[in-house]
Amino acid sequence: MKVLFIGHNSENDTPITRLMGNLFPKVQMIGVAESTNLMDLMTVDGPFSFVVIAIDNKNITVSELYETINETLGQRPFIFIGSPNSVKSYITSEILQRP
Protein backbone atom coordinates (compact mmCIF):
# COMPACT_ATOMS: atom_id res chain seq x y z
CA MET A 1 0.00 0.00 0.00
CA LYS A 2 1.27 3.47 -0.88
CA VAL A 3 0.58 6.82 0.74
CA LEU A 4 1.02 10.19 -0.97
CA PHE A 5 2.76 12.63 1.39
CA ILE A 6 2.90 16.34 0.58
CA GLY A 7 5.25 18.13 2.95
CA HIS A 8 7.72 20.99 3.39
CA ASN A 9 11.31 19.91 3.45
CA SER A 10 13.25 16.99 4.88
CA GLU A 11 13.92 18.73 8.21
CA ASN A 12 10.24 19.42 8.94
CA ASP A 13 8.97 16.19 7.41
CA THR A 14 11.18 13.74 9.29
CA PRO A 15 8.98 13.55 12.42
CA ILE A 16 5.89 13.02 10.27
CA THR A 17 7.46 10.26 8.20
CA ARG A 18 8.72 8.54 11.36
CA LEU A 19 5.28 8.73 12.95
CA MET A 20 3.59 7.35 9.84
CA GLY A 21 6.21 4.60 9.61
CA ASN A 22 5.56 3.60 13.22
CA LEU A 23 1.77 3.69 12.86
CA PHE A 24 1.65 2.04 9.44
CA PRO A 25 4.79 -0.13 9.05
CA LYS A 26 3.58 -1.86 5.86
CA VAL A 27 2.81 1.41 4.08
CA GLN A 28 5.24 2.97 1.62
CA MET A 29 5.23 6.78 1.81
CA ILE A 30 5.90 8.59 -1.46
CA GLY A 31 6.69 12.22 -0.72
CA VAL A 32 6.76 15.46 -2.60
CA ALA A 33 7.62 18.94 -1.31
CA GLU A 34 6.50 21.01 -4.29
CA SER A 35 3.08 20.85 -5.89
CA THR A 36 4.71 21.29 -9.33
CA ASN A 37 5.89 17.66 -9.18
CA LEU A 38 2.56 16.40 -7.88
CA MET A 39 0.85 15.51 -11.16
CA ASP A 40 3.78 13.39 -12.33
CA LEU A 41 3.94 11.66 -8.98
CA MET A 42 0.19 10.91 -8.87
CA THR A 43 0.08 9.46 -12.36
CA VAL A 44 3.35 7.51 -12.33
CA ASP A 45 3.86 6.31 -8.75
CA GLY A 46 0.27 5.50 -7.73
CA PRO A 47 -2.15 4.12 -6.83
CA PHE A 48 -2.29 5.73 -3.40
CA SER A 49 -4.50 4.49 -0.58
CA PHE A 50 -4.65 7.80 1.26
CA VAL A 51 -3.08 11.25 1.29
CA VAL A 52 -1.17 13.06 4.05
CA ILE A 53 -0.69 16.82 3.71
CA ALA A 54 1.46 19.02 5.96
CA ILE A 55 -0.74 22.10 5.81
CA ASP A 56 1.73 24.47 7.47
CA ASN A 57 3.48 24.69 4.09
CA LYS A 58 2.68 28.21 2.90
CA ASN A 59 3.66 27.32 -0.68
CA ILE A 60 0.50 25.26 -1.20
CA THR A 61 -3.17 26.12 -1.28
CA VAL A 62 -4.88 23.29 0.57
CA SER A 63 -8.33 23.65 -1.03
CA GLU A 64 -6.91 23.71 -4.58
CA LEU A 65 -4.58 20.83 -3.83
CA TYR A 66 -7.47 18.84 -2.34
CA GLU A 67 -9.56 19.35 -5.49
CA THR A 68 -6.67 18.45 -7.80
CA ILE A 69 -5.98 15.23 -5.93
CA ASN A 70 -9.66 14.24 -5.86
CA GLU A 71 -10.04 14.92 -9.58
CA THR A 72 -6.91 12.91 -10.43
CA LEU A 73 -7.08 10.02 -7.96
CA GLY A 74 -10.75 9.97 -7.04
CA GLN A 75 -12.01 10.10 -3.46
CA ARG A 76 -9.28 9.19 -0.99
CA PRO A 77 -8.99 9.58 2.78
CA PHE A 78 -6.95 12.65 3.76
CA ILE A 79 -4.89 13.31 6.86
CA PHE A 80 -4.10 16.98 7.43
CA ILE A 81 -1.18 17.69 9.76
CA GLY A 82 -0.48 21.19 11.03
CA SER A 83 -0.86 23.72 13.78
CA PRO A 84 -4.33 24.54 15.13
CA ASN A 85 -4.19 27.93 13.39
CA SER A 86 -3.39 26.29 10.06
CA VAL A 87 -6.27 23.87 10.46
CA LYS A 88 -8.68 26.75 11.14
CA SER A 89 -7.30 28.80 8.26
CA TYR A 90 -6.77 26.25 5.50
CA ILE A 91 -9.33 23.48 6.03
CA THR A 92 -12.56 24.80 4.52
CA SER A 93 -16.06 23.62 5.37
CA GLU A 94 -16.34 22.06 1.89
CA ILE A 95 -13.40 19.80 2.67
CA LEU A 96 -14.85 18.80 6.04
CA GLN A 97 -18.28 18.00 4.63
CA ARG A 98 -17.06 15.62 1.94
CA PRO A 99 -17.40 11.89 2.55
Burial class (CB in 10 A: 0-12, 13-18, 19+), 10: exposed
pTM to 2 decimal places: 0.81
* CATH number at 2-97: 3.40.50.2300
Per-residue model confidence as pLDDT tens digits over 53-65: 888 877 778 888 8
Sequence ranges of the domains in the chain? 2-97
Q: Mapped to the 3 state alphabet, what secondary structure does the chain carry?
A: CEEEEECCCHHHHHHHHHHHHHHCCCCEEEEECCHHHHHHHHHHCCCCCEEEEECCCCCCCHHHHHHHHHHHHCCCCEEEECCHHHHHHHCCHHHHHCC
Per-residue model confidence as pLDDT tens digits over 3-60: 888 887 667 778 888 888 888 888 888 877 766 677 877 877 778 888 888 888 777 7
